[in-house]
Structure 1
Amino acid sequence: MNPFPLPLVIQRDSAIPIYRQLSSAILKAIQDGQLQPNQQLPSENEFARQFGIVPMTVRQAMNELVRGGYIYRVRGRGTYVAPRFLEHSLERMLSFSEDMRARNLLPGSKILQFERITPPPFVQHALRLGENETVIHIRRLRLANEQPVGVHNAWIARLEFSRSELEAVGSLYQLMAQKEVFLSEGDDLIEAIEADAELSRLLNVHSGAALLRVTRTARDQAGR
């Protein structure tokens, strides 16, 4: 692969570490659109030769960008620019449909699973459920302008509704509001993950692609 013409002159006497100079230059190229989603980057050795630095320094820069979710590695093939997934706003409780419409995008979804189950332990703990309580579990592929942008798993406690009701309304938040359940607060945990075989198939991305996982625990007006 030919070296990417990165507009960077290494400042060896700078207080900014060399690996950070490199990672910042690559990040700027991604944000400016010079590097496109899923575009392959030069190898660590190629970057090292291009800028006259050691491969270990390049690896530090690459590791920083991988941790930030800006690039991803495919074993045996190389390093690639991560897809630009939608930014997630924490300013207020928005449903997916509201969020997409606010971005002038057409929301959509495909229900992959709809079932009443005994929840896994982490859900039981998060929702403060009794040992014998069950939940409705919904797994959906979320779409924006008919393109897949996420896979959504929801576990809903202490509420009854059918799959047909959800399909008729479209928005889970709107359906809950119709049943006089209003989500008023919540906690979000955001972490970087890599796409496994199922997610890569559903989202049309490479296996190992960088993704964001958002885990939201939402409570209604009664704090439940």
Structure 2
Amino acid sequence: MTGVTVETGADHPAERGGERGGSGTAKHEALRQALSKMIDDGLAPHEALPSERELMQRFAVSRMTVRRAVERLAQEGRVYRIQGAGTFVADPATISKSLHLTSFSEDIRARRMVPGSRLLQLERTGADMACARDLFVEPGAPLVHIARLRLADDEPMCLENAWLPEAYVPGLVDQGEPDSLYQLLSRAGAAPESADQTIRATVLDSDQARLLEVPPHFPALLMQRITRDARGRAVERAESLYRADRYDFRVTVFRERRP
């Protein structure tokens, strides 16, 4: 890792005092940048990063610093971890979705790609029984429905349908497609904070496949989500259909300790 330096001093006291190096940059952030450069300089997809112990010795930092840096890289989709095996470079051809509540645009930017979208539909509608149940509104209550084809570096990646109570997005239909639904909800005092998500395998019908530029019956991942704000109000019902060859979901699981 020639040319990459993490400024160090007394490592553990610095961490307890805010984990700052001599330059004022948090040590875990400096290490994240160093590891990111290592990946950019030639580590291949699925190649292992050095072990925690090796990184601790090479950069003269603590285990906590290493783990925070690697956690950041995992959140950005640059690496993935296999319990008991180590940390590996993520394949940039695959968009990895963690269980953090993030938007499509945030996922794509984390992969150093440019997000985009093509508006398919934007309309006022009344809540059907499914939307009324999931959004806790009366049947027929005013909603906004937005359907978009989501892009990464101009390549079709996802078909997204979202239904939102119109009270949280007043004027959206007249204003046109927003840059970010989550930012729009935040400005309305309904910032997304949590969500219930269900993910299952499916295949694309001919219309969906045409939009995503793959053959009919191509494998896909269907994510259904109910998003809530800090007050527990349901602010979005969404269905996202991802190309299975370009998107995956990564989780870290732990074995339950039994008496």
Select 1:106's aligned residue among 114, 122, 135: 114
1:187–1:217 Cα contact (<8 Å) kept:
yes
Say how many residue pairs are matched.
141
Which amino acid is the alignment partner of residue 190 of structure 2? V
Aligned to 2:16: none
* 1:19-58 map, 5 Å: none
Q: CA deviation at 1:129?
A: 1.1
1:101–1:107 Cα contact (<8 Å) kept:
yes
Structure 2: state its 5+ residue gaps.
1-44, 47-92, 234-259
Q: What SS class does the counterpart of residue 87 from structure 1 fall into? A: strand
Aligned to 1:25: none
Instruction: Give, in whole Å, the separation in 1 of the partners of 2:193 and 2:171.
Output: 20
Q: TM-score, normalised by structure 1?
A: 0.58
Aligned to 2:184: 175
1:113–1:139 Cα contact (<8 Å) kept:
yes
Q: CA deviation at 1:89?
A: 1.6
Which amino acid is the alignment partner of residue 86 of structure 1? I
1:166–1:175 Cα contact (<8 Å) kept:
no
Aligned to 2:199: 190
1:213 pairs with 2:218: no
Select 1:96's aligned residue among 98, 104, 126: 104
Aligned to 1:123: 131
> How much identity, in percent, do the aligned residues show?
35
Aligned to 2:248: none
Q: CA deviation at 1:86?
A: 3.0
Q: TM-score, normalised by structure 2?
A: 0.51
2:128–2:140 Cα contact (<8 Å) kept:
no
Instruction: Give, in whole Å, the separation in 1 of the partners of 2:102 and 2:218.
Output: 26
2:150–2:156 Cα contact (<8 Å) kept:
yes
Q: What SS class does the counterpart of residue 96 from structure 2 fall into? A: coil
Instruction: Give, in whole Å, the separation in 2 of the partners of 1:120 and 1:209.
Output: 29
Q: 1:164 to 1:89 in 2, by over 3 A?
A: farther
Q: What SS class does the counterpart of residue 95 from structure 2 fall into? A: coil
Which amino acid is the alignment partner of residue 180 of structure 1? G
Q: Deviations over 1:96-135 (max 9, x none)?
A: 1111111111010111000111123212111111133121
